[in-house]
């Protein structure tokens, strides 16, 4: 008897223009477009295998070896259902195809980085799951079409279906059919770009992104300014910087957008604090490095937690590493509650 299985992996992506806020929480439609860089590194990925079999009694998922429930109408369920419907349509159009859409599917997913390291795993995890099931079903859909599904698993996941520099266009339609990810430039276009991941804390974050961003939507006047006046121009400017490989502009926009995102978190009621003292020291060190260089040669960015990602060109990585090691020595990490670990990634 034929076995139907497929494996796919997807890397973590780190946003330069941040996604923060939904206009539709069910369909996961954002209040602004966003842009990220997908880290092309073997040890920051999720890998998911899916297997369909007539003997399976229900869909099941194991995440890092532990079974997680697939709630009916929950985010995962919605993704599986959407892909299964595409497969059903194919089977209806071509009677020669095996009717595997009728089988239940088992998924096994693992991250090759510690989930507790505070690095977003939902983006890579959901993207890997969608890619894996679409392989299993031999779906003809493009990565952008698949991103419509991954988006409904976790907003940022839609960007992890592409490598390189990726935009998630917020779209205008109410049904979300134009809220999708697309490539701005391939990784090969600007291979000198590197990212340094600085794990400031591996504690689980206090406020989840999902609940935090909706509190911001409900209470922050500053968010309205950000989504209407600030982000649209930045999306254009950073895309141009990427196309022209203009690191100075890329860095300035990236740092300002990270700060803008954390400002709207602070403008939320009650306020959300993701940065800690170490995060702020990283900002100070990078600002000083850039001041001394006379131009931006490194760019910090922070997501919904204290960990820093520093973008820099390969030629400047030794300088950045040297500085980070000097100010945040690894040896001290065990004694220091604000420990800092780092990993260099080519993007
Ligand atoms: C981003 N973040 O653009 C921003 C920056 C966090 C800060 O995408 O509710 O986990 O699953 O759509 O995708 C985190 O949001 O939230 C996020 P849901 P998600 O990367």
Interval 295-335: pLDDT, tens: 999 999 999 999 999 999 999 999 999 999 899 876 443 33
Candidate from 68-72, 107-111, 203-207, 273-277 with smallest mean pLDDT: 203-207
Taking a C-beta distance cutoff of 8 angstroms, is the pair 344, 321 a contact?
Answer: yes
Average pLDDT over residues 46-71: 96
What percent of the chain stands above pLDDT 70? 91
Give the Cα separation of 280 and 99 in Å (integer).
55
Q: 187 pLDDT exceeds 50?
A: yes
Q: What pLDDT sits at residue 90?
A: 98
User: Ligand 1, residues 11, 151, 214, 303: which to mutate, most atoms within 8 A of Cβ?
Assistant: 303
Torsion sign, CA atoms 289, 293, 294, 298: negative
What percent of the chain stands above pLDDT 90? 83
Q: 339 pLDDT exceeds 70?
A: no
Q: Which atom of ligand 1 is nearest to the CA of 120?
A: 10
User: Ligand 1, residues 129, 158, 209: which to mutate, most atoms within 8 A of Cβ?
Assistant: 209
Which domains are seen in the chain, by residue range?
4-187 (3.30.230.10), 193-346 (3.30.70.890)
Q: 281 pLDDT exceeds 60?
A: yes
Give the pocket of ligand 1 (CB within 6 Å): 15, 18-20, 28, 34, 122, 154-156, 209-210, 303-304
Interface predicted TM-score (ipTM) of this complex, two decimals: 0.99
């Amino acid at each position: 008897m034929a076995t139907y299985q497929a494996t796919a992996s997807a890397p973590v992506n780190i946003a330069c223009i941040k996604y923060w806020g939904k206009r539709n929480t069910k369909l996961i439609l954002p209040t602004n477009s966003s842009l990220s860089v997908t880290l092309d590194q073997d040890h920051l990925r999720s890998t998911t295998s899916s297997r369909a079999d007539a003997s399976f009694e229900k869909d099941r998922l194991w995440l890092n070896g532990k079974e997680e429930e697939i709630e009916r109408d929950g985010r995962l369920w919605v993704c599986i259902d959407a892909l299964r419907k595409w497969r059903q349509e194919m089977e209806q159009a071509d009677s020669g195809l095996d009717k595997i859409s009728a089988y239940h599917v088992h998924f096994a997913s693992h991250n090759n980085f510690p989930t507790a390291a505070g690095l977003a795993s939902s983006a890579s995890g959901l993207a890997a799951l969608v890619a894996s099931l679409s392989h299993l079903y031999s779906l003809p859909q493009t990565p952008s079409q698949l991103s419509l599904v991954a988006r409904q698993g976790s907003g940022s996941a839609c960007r992890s279906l592409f490598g390189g520099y990726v935009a998630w266009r917020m779209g205008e339609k109410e049904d979300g059919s134009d809220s999708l990810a697309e490539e701005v430039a391939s990784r090969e276009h600007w291979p000198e770009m590197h990212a340094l991941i600085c794990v400031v804390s591996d504690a689980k974050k206090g406020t989840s992104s999902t609940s935090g961003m909706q509190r911001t939507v409900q209470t922050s006047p500053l968010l309205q300014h950000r989504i209407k006046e600030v982000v649209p121009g930045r999306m254009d400017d950073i895309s141009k910087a990427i196309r022209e490989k203009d690191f100075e502009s890329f860095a300035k926009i990236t740092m300002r957008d990270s700060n803008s995102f954390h400002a709207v978190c602070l403008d939320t009621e009650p306020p959300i604090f993701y940065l800690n003292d170490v995060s702020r020291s990283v900002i100070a060190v990078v600002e000083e490095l850039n001041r001394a260089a006379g131009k931006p040669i490194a760019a910090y960015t922070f997501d919904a937690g204290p960990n820093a990602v520093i973008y820099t060109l390969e030629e400047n990585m030794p300088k950045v590493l040297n500085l980070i090691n000097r100010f945040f020595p690894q040896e001290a990490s065990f004694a220091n509650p604000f420990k800092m670990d780092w990993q260099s990634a080519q993007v």
